[in-house]
Structure 1
Amino acid sequence: MVTSVAPRVESLSSSGIQSIPKEYVRTQEELTSITNIFEEEKKAEGPQVPTIDLKDIDSEDKLVREKSREELKEAAVEWGVMHLVNHGIDDDLLERVKKAGEAFFNLPLEEKEKYANDQESGKIAGYGSKLANNASGQLEWEDYFFHLIFPEDKRDMSIWPKSPSDYIKATSEYAKLLRGLATKILSILSLGLGLDEGRLEKEVGGMEELLLQMKINYYPKCPQPELALGVEAHTDVSALTFILHNMVPGLQLFYQGKWVTAKCVPNSIIMHVGDTIEILSNGKYKSILHRGLVNKEKVRISWAVFCEPPKEKIILKPLPEVVSEAEPAIFPPRTFAQHIQHKLFRKTQDALVSK
């Protein structure tokens, strides 16, 4: 049996094609809203993704500390996405992580293929390109590298890139610090719901079970960026998602009925609230719809780390403390695995209906 392998988008991009294959062309409905990302990023008017400064998040001054935490909570309620600055992770380390990931994608294609995943057999870790997983058969303009980076005892080091030489060290250090940042954010979001500060962390698996999965997204130059998407519109299934990027714009958020382009904020980490926290908070914190645009001039790379609860061990449902007669539970109980399946099923159904 021949397994179908999606073509590497990098190969398409470098082949000199002037028009993209039809399976990368988005639906008519989507095409009306795809614009030039560089023009969009320059716009100063309209709503902007909030920037949250974490330097006072643990201030000894109670008023300063509470104001800082309230700002983070408000951004999670209103937007569900934010730029984090003064997040406590050294700029030099962020640069090393980015340099190492970029160097991996700069390797010859045959080198990268040694790390190829096999999605059809369920082996999603490794180097890949998206297979069509919906009835519309559409593809996204990206290649990626995906692997678990924390907890350390659950990592499969055999698929971590050996080249460049700093990849393992830089990514491991980053994973450890990011896990600490996740605890801090979860505790603030917990307190924001009137819960004990450790509650949300416990509900998503705690230090032992919460998995940090890194997906390095590589978006090559696209000859017809007005027809394609790097990543189609979706919400993240995770508890939290943390994103670095190479300062090329591309991320858009669907806010108040319009697509808003995220600015490139130096030394920031973008953070999304995912579906898992939206469910636990009974919709008080938002998991925002977002997508990625591509362009003709520059390669865009982003490093997304998804903080995910264990697939089967925990039942995700609105916490009893945030449910009342006035605000009944708006999500049914599901495991994380069931939530993912539910989303895939709905996406397939929607695609069939729109055909």
Structure 2
Amino acid sequence: MEIEKVQNIALNFNSIPSEFIRSESEQPAVTTVHGTVLEVPTIDFSEVDDDKLVDVISKASQDWGLFQVVNHGIPTQVIQNLQRVGKEFFELPQQEKEIYSKPPPGEGYVGGEGYSNKLGKNTDTVRAWVDHLFHNIWPPSAINFHFWPKNPPSYREANEEYAKYLIGVTEKLMKCWSKGLGLEENKIKEAGGGEEIVYLAKINYYPPCPRPELALGVGAHTDLSMLTILVPNHVPGLQVCRDGLWYNVRYIPNALIIHIGDQLEVLSNGKYKAVLHRTTVNKEETRMSWPIFIEPPPHHEVGPVSDLIDEHNPANYKTKKFSDYKYCKLNRLPQ
């Protein structure tokens, strides 16, 4: 049975339905450290000293699992176009958005692309205050244009242009992570799937919530990708867990927010840390975000890079197909 979209619930209810109310141990009003906004590391991508850039990226990835990149080379207009077409899609009539819904289970499609508000099986008793759209944007062999909205008409052009720039940012990051581990610069890319690495785009739509102190847009989690590159709209909402406490993250205009994901933690044998984060919602305004999850191809086996393993540094993680890892994580099964 299809679950009603959160966007419709927000329009038709003056109070929050009970299935969205978090336990007191999760409610942002109770668990957020108020009055403190985290200044996560900010990294200038135009740094000409390669060793310095490797050092700051490596340190932020070890200590935080999260950082913001400025002077990244993606034109502001390209990001604004991406955000504009995503916003226009979610403003379409519901019937038109449903054209891009995820196929129901049992219809033969096993991917995660499409318009929906759930991930994996419905194992949670509390719902997230968010709707989303997923589709692959790179490489061409992974793209299924069935899940790309045809309206607004410039949707495809805006996403393809953004992807073109994002590939360069991603490859530069992966080279820095490799060097930070003492490896050849292409090692992380190769160990993560090489030219078959998949760029999975997502648009998160968090409509105004009548009781934002009781709900979450997305609960606490780490990303199952290698890395995530995210741009938000102007409404804050990202929170990061530090020393068991939840803090709001300060946004920097035009910056890219970089999350270390599970697969990079595995590849680095735990040197780089996947960041535990969650999303809050707003009473007055719609929050949106555009993460791109950079993932190994489904069939690719991921484990600690062999050059990092010896008798003094045993493997801390299993080697397994990414598709198996993803299935277990989304369905809350043991890894």
Considering the TM-score relative to the shorter chain, is it more than 0.5?
yes
Counterpart mapping for 1:147-158 below 5 A: 147-158=135-146
Query: Equivalent residue for 1:6?
Result: 3
Query: Equivalent residue for 2:256?
Result: 269
Task: Quote the offset at 1:178 in angstroms.
Answer: 0.7
Which residue of 127, 151, 157 maps to 2:115?
A: 127
Q: What are the Cα deviations for residues 291-321 of structure 1, in whole angstroms up to 9, with x where unaligned?
A: 1111101100000100110112x22111222
Query: Equivalent residue for 2:134?
Result: 146
Query: Equivalent residue for 1:335?
Result: 321
Q: What are the Cα deviations for residues 18-37 of structure 1, in whole angstroms up to 9, with x where unaligned?
A: 32222211123212x44698
Counterpart mapping for 1:217-256 below 5 A: 217-256=204-243
- Structure 1: any 5+ residue segments left out of the alignment? 350-355
The separation in 2 between residues aligned to 1:111 and 1:182, in whole angstroms, is 33
Bigger mean CA offset, 245-254 vs 47-56: 47-56
* Corresponding residue SS for 2:274: coil
Q: What are the Cα deviations for residues 236-262 of structure 1, in whole angstroms up to 9, with x where unaligned?
A: 111111001102111111122211211
The separation in 2 between residues aligned to 1:112 and 1:18, in whole angstroms, is 24
Residues 1:98 and 2:86 aligned together: no
Query: Equivalent residue for 2:51?
Result: 66
Contact 2:36–2:247 (CA under 8 A) maintained in structure 1: no
Query: Equivalent residue for 1:30?
Result: 26
Q: Letter of the 2:24 partner, please give it.
A: Q
The separation in 2 between residues aligned to 1:119 and 1:52, in whole angstroms, is 42
Contact 1:34–1:293 (CA under 8 A) maintained in structure 2: no
Contact 2:229–2:259 (CA under 8 A) maintained in structure 1: yes
Which residue of 266, 270, 284 maps to 1:283?
A: 270
Residues 1:166 and 2:151 aligned together: no
Residues 1:116 and 2:101 aligned together: yes
| Alpha-carbon spacing, 1:344–1:164, altered in 2? closer, same or farther (3 Å) | closer
Query: Equivalent residue for 2:39?
Result: 48
The separation in 2 between residues aligned to 1:110 and 1:183, in whole angstroms, is 39
Identity of aligned residues (%): 39
Task: Quote the offset at 1:342 in angstroms.
Answer: 3.2
Counterpart mapping for 1:168-187 below 5 A: 168-187=156-175
| Alpha-carbon spacing, 1:155–1:136, altered in 2? closer, same or farther (3 Å) | closer
Task: Quote the offset at 1:325 in angstroms.
Answer: 3.5
The separation in 2 between residues aligned to 1:306 and 1:287, in whole angstroms, is 13
Aligned alpha-carbon RMSD (Å)? 2.0
The separation in 2 between residues aligned to 1:325 and 1:124, in whole angstroms, is 39
TM-score (norm 1): 0.88
TM-score (norm 2): 0.93
Contact 1:118–1:124 (CA under 8 A) maintained in structure 2: no
Bigger mean CA offset, 333-342 vs 95-104: 333-342
Q: What are the Cα deviations for residues 66-118 of structure 1, in whole angstroms up to 9, with x where unaligned?
A: 22221111111111111111111111101111111111111111211122222
Task: Quote the offset at 1:128 in angstroms.
Answer: 1.1
* Corresponding residue SS for 2:100: coil
Task: Quote the offset at 1:136 in angstroms.
Answer: 3.8
| Alpha-carbon spacing, 1:36–1:95, altered in 2? closer, same or farther (3 Å) | farther
Task: Quote the offset at 1:323 in angstroms.
Answer: 2.4
Q: Letter of the 2:251 partner, please give it.
A: C
